Copies of this chain bind each other. A is one copy, B any other.
Amino acid sequence: MLTRVKSAVAGFMGGIMSGGSSGGGGNPGAEMPLKFPYMRPEFLGLSPDEIECSADHIARPILILKETRRLPWATGYAEVINAGKSALNEDQACCEVVVARKRPMSYCPPSTPSKTPTAKRRNSLPNGEGLGLRMEHSKLGEDAEGLVFHYWALFDGHAGSGAAVVAARLLQHHIACQLQAVIEILRNLASPPPTVMGEEPDMNPYLQGNTPGPHRALTRAASLRGATGAPGSPCSTPPPPRFFTEKKIQHESLVIGAIENAFKEMDAQIEREKQVYNVTGGCTALTVVYLLGKLYVGNAGDSRAIIIRNNEIIPVSTEFTPESERQRLQFLGFMQPHLLGNEFTHLEFPRRVQRKEVGKRMLYRDFTMNGWAYKTIEDEDLKFPLIYGEGKKARVLATIGVTRGLGDHDLKVHDSNIYIKPFLSCCPEVKVYNLTQYEHGADDVLVMGTDGLWDVLSNQEVAEAVTTFLANCDPDDLHRYTMAAQDLVMRARGVLRDRGWRITNERLGSGDDISVFIIPLMYGNRQP
């Protein structure tokens, strides 16, 4: 069966099947070994044959967690492959309970910020296999030696599955690594994180006001915006001595910083390992970390997570696309025009400019604008716009439709030497949801999905589908969340009819890979 499908698919897809990569503009590492083989999520427990069958672009079977297998918190999961745009399912998923153990610092060097725009990270980072991190359940978020966190992640690959596979295997270990450096601090919730590691906050010499260095600058500063002394004193005694207060950092901020730096280290590792392994393409990353009573949702890309609580929708991520990040990207193109390689303009126009339109007045906007205005078209404006297209068709440098994620280090504009990577960010936005602040019922869930889900179903439709589905399930059936995930994937994929996938109201179903986690929130403070 698979053979027939394969040849049928290969027939209409041209050369795409052969490399297991969609697009790509050449793969410089093709002769090198894979870091990890292509896979489906480990927790699905699929045999190699099952994995092959799962890639049937005609049947598009929906894969779900087997009833005999269980994920932490009775998490539900379902996925389906695309309708033919790539040979393999480029989505990847991971769900684990991870223990970060206190270790000597040298073992897991923490992230260091670049000193100059051109500096490269030189840290030698672990690749996960040797870390000795092991799965373990814990109710309190800590065991004797370490800190336990729950971890769910979706990766949506493009131009090959390499980066997504590597990230699905390793990102959690980078998070553990970053957390290792602050385990003691996180376990001691009674004291705020010290500014200098190993020192008590009240050892801060600045509170005594004996400051060396450009103190003068601060003195000058006060005159500009009315910060001198206390407001409201017209001609009273001189203002109190101005000592330098210290910003108080919350424990929560250390977890956010750890996740942010873990994404950066994951990306740096992919870049390094491309020297010796074949790591194709790039991927978005959406992660949920549960630690010490809080959910940390980190997102770099166009996947999405929402919480459905008591029939209310709480978005817990935002998407990063050429449209949502237009101003950041245009600003970069404006500041560093060499990144545009003399082929692109940082200005946006409603469509391509034609040579015969030079001298006419056309709508445009630059990085400072959300509105539009007219400008006289010049030769310069005939270059291709850095951001072009609308909605799902919007592209950066005519190449990529998502602006954050991991990998893509070799990605160039077709037939040029213009790299895309400088415009992409591997930094997630991390949002925090305090699980202990609410009572959660059996139908209160967090839904994570790749864009294949959200392209065709709105938050409202997803929430209604999940709520209705769960209401009709036995509340004690731990498999209900997987069944609900399966239902969602089915609603987004639709059925094959009249040569196309159709969902309700004759709308087009998603032809993309679709992956969905449904995480019940009631288990946050008790193990199922």
A interface with B by C-beta (< 8 Å)? 8-9, 11-12, 16, 22-23, 25, 57-58, 82-85, 110-117, 158-159, 178, 181-182, 193, 195-199, 204-206, 211-214, 216-218, 220-221, 223-228, 230-237, 244-249, 252-261, 264, 332, 334-337, 343, 347, 349-352, 354-355, 357, 360-366, 368-376, 380, 382, 384, 388-390, 392-393, 395, 397-402, 413-415, 425, 427, 429-430, 455-456, 494, 496, 499-502, 508-512
Contacts and interface: CB of A to CB of B under 8 A. Distances in A.
Contact of A374 (B181, B363, B374, B456): B181
A174 to B, nearest CB: 13
A257 B371 contact: yes
**Among A8, A85, A380: residue with most chain B CB under 10 A:** A85
Contacts of A336: 335
A259 B370 CA distance: 10
Contacts of A114: 334, 366
Nearest to A348: B247
A244 to B, nearest CB: 6
Nearest to A374: B197
A120 to B, nearest CB: 14
Nearest to A13: B235
A197 B372 CA distance: 13
B332 A502 contact: no
Nearest to A321: B225
9 contacts: A197-B374, A212-B354, A217-B414, A218-B388, A231-B509, A232-B509, A233-B500, A256-B370, A261-B373
Contact of A221 (B204, B261, B399): B399
Nearest to A210: B354
A375 B110 CA distance: 8
Nearest to A497: B232
B350 A195 contact: yes
Given A260-B369, A376-B112, A224 B158 contact: yes
A205 B349 CA distance: 15
Contacts of A380: 115
Contact of A257 (B115, B369, B413): B369
B368 A117 contact: no
6 A-B pairs closest in CB distance: A256-B371, A257-B371, A23-B223, A217-B398, A231-B511, A232-B501
B384 A235 contact: no
Given A199-B360, A233-B499, A264-B368, 14 more contacts: A83-B232, A83-B234, A84-B235, A111-B375, A196-B362, A197-B374, A198-B360, A205-B354, A221-B399, A227-B401, A234-B496, A248-B350, A256-B369, A261-B373
Contact of A117 (B264, B337, B364, B372): B337
A218 B111 contact: no
Nearest to A513: B226
Given A371-B257, A382-B213, A398-B217, A58 B197 contact: no
Nearest to A510: B231
A155 to B, nearest CB: 14
Of the listed residues A23, A335, A350, A376, the one surrounded by the most CB atoms of chain B closer than 10 A to its CB is A350
A198 B206 CA distance: 64
A371 B111 contact: no
